[in-house]
Amino acid sequence: MIQLQNVNKVFTDTNHNNFQALKDISLAISPNECVLLHGSSGSGKTTLLHIIASLMKPSSGLVEVKGENIVSLSDYHASAYRRSTIGYVTQSFYLLDNLSVEENLLPALVLESLSEKEMAQKIKKALSLANIEHKAKQKVSTLSGGEKQRCIIARAIVNDAEIVLCDEPTANLDKKNSLFFLGLIQNLKNLRKTILIATHDPIFEKLECVDKVYNLEGGSLE
Ligand SMILES: Nc1ncnc2c1ncn2[C@@H]1O[C@H](COP(=O)(O)OP(=O)(O)O)[C@@H](O)[C@H]1O
Ligand SMILES: [Mg+2]
């Protein structure tokens, strides 16, 4: 499903200093696997997720998703790839505060050629899976942290993405909502999603559906 071979990422700052954030990363994730990516702050987790989401190109190496080399995608094709294949759960709440929960899901769908009815059905299904359907009409600014996170999950899966990438998804949640989030991941696993979660939250030890754990330190897999 996802295959990385000898992926390197070097950032160059304004003083032309190079910093290697990822070093020779090779990994493989099969369909419907749930994989944890552990690593302390600054170890390269977000960079790796950005590369898999084709939000960023590696400096060298091969990245194949569903048999397609995504490194060579143009910006246009990269965003089409993201819309069709990737759900992205972020650690901070990039939601439009003044819109309702359901309105926040629309941008993920507007570029698809769907009827209004089909859009409404997809939104209803995603909100129900993320257990936030009862707040569909409520403004995001009035939601609790846990509810916002459920809204982000609904947005990530509304396009039927096969791959769900989560970047420190429980960083802003309390214990109760973090445990609730684990339940949602279990649901996604049952829906046969392929899941990659970057985290250093020990609560994920409770997540039973984990198939594999990778450790990233200083940009290298251990
Ligand atoms: N755009 C960038 N330019 C320069 N350095 C960056 C950039 N993005 C990330 N880095 C550096 O790469 C390293 C890994 O960052 P990141 O992938 O965000 O780590 P993590 O998500 O594990 O905390 C950090 O040292 C960070 O400062
Ligand atoms: Mg990060």
Which strands form 18-29's sheet, in the order they lie side by side? 18-29, 2-12, 60-65, 68-69
Whether residue 5 has pLDDT greater than 90: yes
Q: Whose CA is nearest to atom 7 of ligand 1?
A: 11
Ligand 1: which atom is nearest the Cα of residue 40?
A: 22
Q: Report the percent of the chain where pLDDT is more than 90.
A: 73
Q: Which region among 24-38, 98-112, 158-172 has the lowest average model confidence (pLDDT)?
A: 98-112
CB-ligand 1 contact for 42 (6 Å cutoff): yes
Query: What residue's CA is closest to ligand 1, atom 6?
Result: 11
Predicted pLDDT of residue 93: 66
How many other CB atoms are there within 10 angstroms of residue 26's CB atom? 12
Ligand 1, atom 18: nearest CA belongs to which residue? Answer: 46
**Nearest alpha carbon, ligand 1 atom 12:** 21
Distance between CA atoms of residues 200 and 217, nearest Å: 12
Alpha helices (runs of H) in 23-111, residue ranges in sequence order: 45-52, 75-85
Domain boundaries, the chain: 2-221
Q: Where do we find the tokens 């099969």?
A: 30
Q: 19 C-alpha vs ligand 2 centroid, how far in Å?
A: 16
pTM: 0.92
Mean pLDDT of the region 25-49:
96
> Is a pLDDT exceeding 90 seen at residue 126?
yes
The span from the CA of 131 to the CA of 1, in Å, is 28
What's the mean per-residue pLDDT of the chain?
A: 92
What are 183-214's pLDDT values in tens digits? 989 999 999 999 999 999 999 999 999 999 99
For residue 2, how far is its CA from the centre of ligand 1 (angstroms)?
Answer: 22
- List all residues 6 or more positions away from 35 whose beta carbon is below 8 Å from its beta carbon: 29, 195, 196, 197, 210, 211, 212, 213, 214
Residues with CB under 5 A from ligand 2 (ion): 45-46
Residue nearest to atom 26 of ligand 1 (CA): 42
Q: Which CATH superfamily is domain 2-221 in?
A: P-loop containing nucleotide triphosphate hydrolases (3.40.50.300)
How many whole angstroms from 121 Cα to the centroid of ligand 2?
33
Q: Is the CB of 90 under 6 A from ligand 1?
A: no
**pLDDT above 90: residue 108:** no
Determine the pLDDT at residue 35: 98
How close is the Cα of 173 to the center of ligand 2, in Å? 16
Q: Is the CB of 38 under 6 A from ligand 1?
A: no
Report d(CA 57, CA 51) in Å as an integer: 6
- CA pair distance 114, 30, nearest whole angstrom: 30
Indicate whether 92 pLDDT > 80: no
